[in-house]
Every structure is written in C-alpha cells, then in structure tokens.
C-alpha cells in the first residue's frame, strides 16, 4: 500500500476495515466504516443519548418524559416503582361480540343480524330463515293488533267496492 497513514480502521471488533472515508458516530465518537455506522450495527452504548422517542409505560400506557441523556429503561422503571396506576390502562374492547345463534356455528359478527321471524342473532352465512332452519311459530297478535288488521281489511274492501263498476 502506498499511503499507510491515509484513512482509519473501523472500530468494530469483527471488521477492522481500512476506510479512506471513515465515519464518526455522533453518539460514542468512534470511527466506523459505512457498514457499521448505524447504532444497532456497532451496538452503540451511547445511542440512548440520541434517541428522541418518548417511552410509554407498559402497565398504565402513560408516556414518560425523559431528559436528554437519561436512559429510558431507568426512568420507566422508576415510574413503575413510584406511582404507576396499573389498572388505568384502557382495556381492549371486543369488536366481534354478536355470536351466531345457529347450533354448531361459532362465527361472530361486528353488527347484529337479527332474523325478522324468530328474532335471534345470526352470522352472515345463516342470516336467512332457510339457512338457519328458522323455528318461527306464528306469534299471537294482541287485540289491538287484530283490530288494526280488521280496519285495514275493511278499508281496502270499501275502496275496491268504489272502484268496481256497478252492474244493475
């Protein structure tokens, strides 16, 4: 080699490549080649100084503020030891809660699919009366319902009589 003093060797123990354009890590200030400049590639012990993410407590889901240069693990651990409200984390809400009423079917849907005849909840596959072998027995109609149907029939018959030509 003609210029032995030109460039620097990579500080990664497994590499030691002579690099003519060495890169200096902004966290630990050591020199690395282009393959090992990333914090994770050279296992930088000072990377936490440059990490600007806000850690979140795994127990209460609260963001924990940290000062520049502090290790996130230490601060979150101190939070958990002091005043962490473990039960304040929001519980995961179930989305698919409407279980199919057909025997043997275990499907659940996001919305209710109620049969108009038997008034039970079914999945998309069994929503039609023929698909779930609907066991609908005619419901008895109240007296008020009977009276309403009777009035409807009478009014429809009267309107038919008015429209029919009279044969005399």
pLDDT at residue 3, as a whole number: 67
Phi, psi of 97 (to 5 degrees): -110, -10
- The Cα 158–Cα 81 span in angstroms is 83
- The Cα 64–Cα 56 span in angstroms is 6
Cβ atoms of residues 125 and 131 within 8 Å: yes
Burial of 129 (0-12, 13-18, 19+ CB in 10 A): middle
* Cα–chain center distance at 120: 28
Ranges for all domains in the chain classified under CATH 4.10.1110.10: 7-47, 96-137
Cβ atoms of residues 91 and 97 within 8 Å: no
pLDDT tens digits along 87-129: 655 566 777 788 999 989 999 988 888 888 888 899 999 988 8
pLDDT tens digits along 24-69: 998 888 999 989 888 888 888 888 777 677 888 888 888 888 887 7
What's the predicted TM-score (pTM) here? 0.34
User: Does residue 114 sit in helix, strand or coil?
Assistant: strand
Write the DSSP assignment of 12-57 as a string of letters. -TTT--EESS-EE-TTT--EE-TTS-STTTTT-TTGGGT--PPPB-
Contacts of 54 (CB under 8 A, 6+ apart): 63, 64, 65, 66
Lowest mean pLDDT among 11-15, 49-53, 75-79: 49-53
Lowest mean pLDDT among 10-14, 21-25, 39-43, 143-147: 143-147
Scanning the chain, the segments in alpha helix (DSSP H) are 72-82, 143-163
CATH 4.10.1110.10 is the classification of domain 96-137: yes
**Tokens read off for 134:** 């609907």
User: What is 7-47's CATH number, 3.40.630.40, 3.30.360.10, 4.10.1110.10, 1.10.287.70?
Assistant: 4.10.1110.10
**Residue 148 pLDDT grade (very low, low, confident, very high; cuts 50, 70, 90):** confident
């Amino acid at each position: 080699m003609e210029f032995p003093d030109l460039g620097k060797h990579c500080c990664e123990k497994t590499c030691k490549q002579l690099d003519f354009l060495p890169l200096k890590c902004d966290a630990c200030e050591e020199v690395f080649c282009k393959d090992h400049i990333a914090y994770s590639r050279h296992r930088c012990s000072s990377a936490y100084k440059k990490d600007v993410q806000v850690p979140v407590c795994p127990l209460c889901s609260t963001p924990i503020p940290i000062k520049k240069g502090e290790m996130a693990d230490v601060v979150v651990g101190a939070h958990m030891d002091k005043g962490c409200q473990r039960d304040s984390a929001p519980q995961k809400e179930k989305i698919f809660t409407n279980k199919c009423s057909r025997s043997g079917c275990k499907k659940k849907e996001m919305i209710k699919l109620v049969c108009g005849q038997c008034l039970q909840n079914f999945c998309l596959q069994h929503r039609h009366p023929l698909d779930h072998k609907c066991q609908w027995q005619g419901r008895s109609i109240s007296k008020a319902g009977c009276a309403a149907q009777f009035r409807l029939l009478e009014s429809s018959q009267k309107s038919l009589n008015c429209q029919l030509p009279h044969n005399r």
